[in-house]
Amino acid sequence: MERLNWLEWGKDAFTRAKNEKKPILLDISAVWCHWCHTMERLTYSNPEISDFIKKNFIPIKVDTDKRPDINDRYNVGGWPSTVILAHDGEVVSAATYVPPQHMIRFLEHALESFKKYKPSREKKLVQKPAKVVDLDVFELVKQFYDPADGGFGLEPKFPNIDILDFLLWRCMRGKDLVAQKMLEHSLKAMSNGEIFDRVGGGFFRYATMRNWSIPHFEKMLEDNARLLAVYLHAYKLFKRHEYLTVANKILFFLFTMLYDHKDGVFYASQDADEEYCKLPLEKRFVKLPAIDKTIYTDMNAQTALSLFVAAELDKGYEKVALNILEHLYKNAMKGGIIHSKETQAYLLRDHVFLLGAFVHAFNVTQKLEWKVRAELVAKALERFYDKKYGGFFDILSTKDSVGRLKQRKKPMYENCAAALILKELARITKNAKYEKMALKSLEALTPGIQNYGPYACTYAIAVSELRK
């Protein structure tokens, strides 16, 4: 039984911490995270530890999927993230998983750090925009590529979907044997590795070993939706039947485990359950792993986009995609685009991905209603736009922001995605304003784009496409 009274992130919790002169214990966890559950069960439910926390800390719990903006600013290398904050929201001590035998000592050291903490008076310099540049990202991707086991980097091994998309884009533009070799090697290695559930379908979040073995067994809607599109595009491009087989198994997982048949949308994730995932198919439906049934706008918009790709091979998926977007139009547009019903937060990512899905729906159906809806989302998106320097902030500015949320960020991927979508919106609406915003968004990223290394591949795509 949980003994701690966890508070929500917000002004009230920070005010209480200041009034009681206590540091904040921030726990960033996830519904699908095995070690988060373990720490809750073994560490936070320990009476000695919970009593120590109640006496000396203000505890705040944040779900990473519900509040990716907080996770982005405070995650310290994985989940759970155990972060001790001063009253200004700056970190004074941090760890990931802390077992019960080490927790009191960790907290005692954190209290000492809190007592010695002095707020910084340094002001962060604003990077002014610069003209877009041609990055040789492909060279960086080649250096990052793993020629032995496919994929990118060593271990742990993540799919790195942005890079797979970049290689696909290069192959779609024309013959590129080097990009094709890296892409096909990676796709085959992933689907033949333990990261892919060949029985129940779908990909696990990542593998702990370089050769795609010993996965962490959670399955995420966002990852599988995007990988679905990657394998479908690869099938259409290279005509390899094994890619279609993988895509069909992803679809099987999505519709079997994550689909809400009543509302026609998709749940967020399947919990990590190693024993379940090692069962043969006929025994899997006896006891299903936990499903996070939250309906996230960004994830469902991305899923709709991937189902439009599937519809090019099977028209039936177009109706499913349009039903998702109808649901989001009716339920997510609340004076802006909400992240989920449970999290009435306005985040850039939901606006960008829903706009992209609405624009694509118009291109597929040629129905005016989707163009009208796209322009409504674009109007809401403009609230995130930096009118002075260009680019989109990840969150809105509010007087109730606390901690690092007072400093808004311009995320690279969402800004590049926005640039690509706004260019297409400019074409279908014949409104040059959108293309101007797209270019300025890329210019806002340019001063720091080198810092992203091979992950700047989405920027490279956007720059090339905007110059057409």
What is the predicted pLDDT for the residue at 351? 98
User: Tell me: the pLDDT tens digits for 69-106?
Assistant: 999 999 999 999 999 999 999 999 999 999 999 999 99
Report d(CA 222, CA 301) in Å as an integer. 10
What is the predicted pLDDT for the residue at 1? 41
* Residue 44: DSSP 8-state: I
Looking at the chain, the whole-number percentage of residues with pLDDT higher than 70 is 99
Residues in the chain: 468
Report d(CA 191, CA 198) in Å as an integer. 8
Distances (CA, A) of 251 to 89, 195, 234, 323, 348: 42, 16, 16, 16, 27
The candidate with the shortest Cα–Cα distance to 295, out of 350, 364, 256, is: 350
Percentages helix, strand, coil for the chain (3-state, rounded to 5) are: 55, 10, 35
DSSP string, 230-287: HHHHHHHHH--HHHHHHHHHHHHHIIIIIEETTTTEE-SEE---HHHHTS-GGGTTSS
What is the predicted pLDDT for the residue at 165? 98
**Alpha-helical segments (H) within 3-123:** 11-20, 34-39, 47-56, 68-74, 100-116
Region of residue 228 (phi > 0: left; psi between -120 and 50: alpha; otherwise: beta): alpha
With cut-offs at 50, 70 and 90, classify the pLDDT of residue 282. Answer: confident
Region of residue 161 (phi > 0: left; psi between -120 and 50: alpha; otherwise: beta): alpha
Q: Cβ distance 417 to 366 under 8 Å? A: no
CA distance between the termini of the chain = 60
Distances (CA, A) of 465 to 9, 425, 455, 459: 40, 14, 17, 10
The β-bridge relationship of strands 291-292 and 269-270 is: antiparallel
With cut-offs at 50, 70 and 90, classify the pLDDT of residue 284. Answer: confident
User: Mean per-residue pLDDT for 323-331?
Assistant: 98
User: Mean per-residue pLDDT for 424-445?
Assistant: 97
Of 215-224, 276-285, 318-327, 439-448, where does mean pLDDT reach its minimum?
276-285
Could you give the domains of the chain? 11-116 (3.40.30.10), 137-466 (1.50.10.10)
Distances (CA, A) of 272 to 29, 180, 267, 277: 14, 33, 15, 9
Provide the token pair at 67: 């509040």
Phi–psi pair at 220, nearest 5 degrees: -110, 140
- The pTM for the full model equals 0.95
